[in-house]
């Protein structure tokens, strides 16, 4: 199926992976690394933008399981500078549910600044909430990463990328496949992204759209192939995004649902807490109705609907999720960034996997 999608010209490179009841059942790929490069393999790394928010949420839950993070603690307990400008009562739970009230970036922010951890933490610490924290939810597209990532850094003494490796990737045996920022020696096996119609779709949004006006206020920080193919961006520790293989992402979600080769990331009670409906309604930034758990979106189209499924999309059409009802986890990575009907590949492939398991 993936090969047909590439042959048709709809896709340039794909990976799909699935686990069913803790066992791998799909590990497929098609396409090439760049137009003249080698075939994409199961171990090819593909930057998948906000699919990585699911990695960040998972890391926070693992730390909470160990007693290092309290969802209802103010972020300022761990990161005192964050209390500035009325944010003293913003909690970790607010960050996970996009209710912290600080989704915005300064209008003149540059891609170079985006990649500087200390610079961006200072920017975020100085933000003033746009609404009363906890009163409403609006997608924190970029700031999600620093809100939670600096919390992780303060409680572990590690960068977010180091903590992801130590607490999630290494226990699962995917330390070379699940990343925020890439080690420099991994750049060579990372497939470049290709623009489909994604950048054009972003360009079509009116300047008044909250996503354009607040979350990505200039082209330099749009989640496009141009940004993702920058060396400095790929190397930067940015826990709002992630670079991965499909099989690593599917394995991570499987280890949230239950035991995978002797590893279970969190217990059943925390899973219930993390993936239950925490907020629901019209998102102030995305201007659509969503249900959200603690760091995950619930009932995404690719999941077949239903609030027993949780996960996260990435710009341009990547996705990873777990379906608790079916015992299924699924991930799709792709190199061609698309929007609209062209972006439905994740749902198409996930539907095919579900059909095979019936």
Write out the catalytic residue numbers: 50
Rounded distance between C-alpha atoms, residue 111 and residue 92, angstroms:
26
Dist. CA 254–CA 22, nearest whole Å: 6
CA distance 246 to 104: 30
Distance CA 238, CA 35 (A): 27
What sign for the dihedral angle of Cα 63, 306, 140, 180?
positive
Q: Which tokens is 167 given?
A: 């607490």
**182 neighbors 259 (Cβ within 8 angstroms):** no
Residues 352 and 358: their CA atoms lie apart, in Å, by: 10
Q: Tokens representing 129?
A: 């909430």
Q: Is 187 left (phi over 0), alpha (psi -120 to 50) or beta?
A: alpha
Pairwise CA distance, residues 346 & 164, whole Å: 25
Helix 268-275 crosses helix 53-65 at what angle (to 10 degrees)? 140
For helices 246-257 and 53-65, angle between their N-to-C axes, nearest 10 degrees: 30
Tokens for 34, please give them: 């760049």
């Amino acid at each position: 199926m993936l090969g047909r999608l590439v042959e048709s010209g709809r896709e340039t490179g794909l990976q799909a992976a699935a686990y069913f009841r803790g066992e791998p059942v799909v590990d497929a790929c098609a396409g090439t690394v760049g137009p003249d490069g080698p075939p994409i393999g199961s171990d090819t790394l593909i930057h998948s933008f906000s699919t990585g928010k699911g990695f960040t949420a998972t890391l926070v839950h693992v730390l909470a399981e160990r007693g290092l993070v309290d969802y209802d603690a103010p972020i300022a307990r761990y990161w005192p500078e964050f209390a500035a400008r009325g944010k003293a009562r913003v909690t970790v739970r607010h960050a996970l549910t996009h209710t912290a009230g600080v989704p915005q970036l300064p209008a003149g922010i540059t891609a170079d600044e985006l990649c500087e951890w200390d610079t961006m933490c200072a920017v975020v610490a100085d933000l003033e909430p746009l609404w009363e924290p906890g009163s409403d939810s609006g997608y924190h597209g970029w700031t999600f990463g620093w809100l939670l990532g600096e919390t992780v850094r303060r409680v572990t003494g590690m960068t977010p990328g180091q903590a992801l490796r130590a607490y999630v990737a290494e226990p699962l045996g995917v330390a070379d496949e699940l990343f925020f920022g890439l080690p420099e020696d991994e750049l060579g096996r990372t497939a470049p992204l290709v623009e489909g119609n994604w950048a054009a779709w972003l360009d079509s949004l009116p300047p008044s759209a909250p996503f354009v006006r607040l979350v990505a206020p200039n082209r330099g920080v749009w989640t496009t192939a141009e940004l993702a193919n920058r060396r400095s961006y790929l190397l930067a520790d940015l826990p709002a995004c992630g670079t991965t293989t499909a099989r690593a992402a599917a394995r991570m979600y499987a280890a949230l649902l239950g035991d995978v080769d002797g590893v279970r990331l969190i217990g059943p009670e925390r899973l219930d807490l993390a993936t239950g409906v925490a907020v629901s309604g019209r998102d102030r930034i995305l201007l659509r109705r969503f249900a959200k758990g603690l760091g995950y979106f619930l009932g995404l189209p690719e999941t077949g609907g239903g609030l027993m499924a949780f996960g996260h999309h990435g710009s341009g059409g990547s996705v990873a999720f777990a379906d608790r009802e079916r015992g299924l986890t699924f991930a799709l990575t792709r190199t061609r960034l698309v929007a609209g009907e062209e972006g439905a590949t994740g749902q198409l492939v996930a539907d095919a996997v579900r059909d095979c398991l019936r």
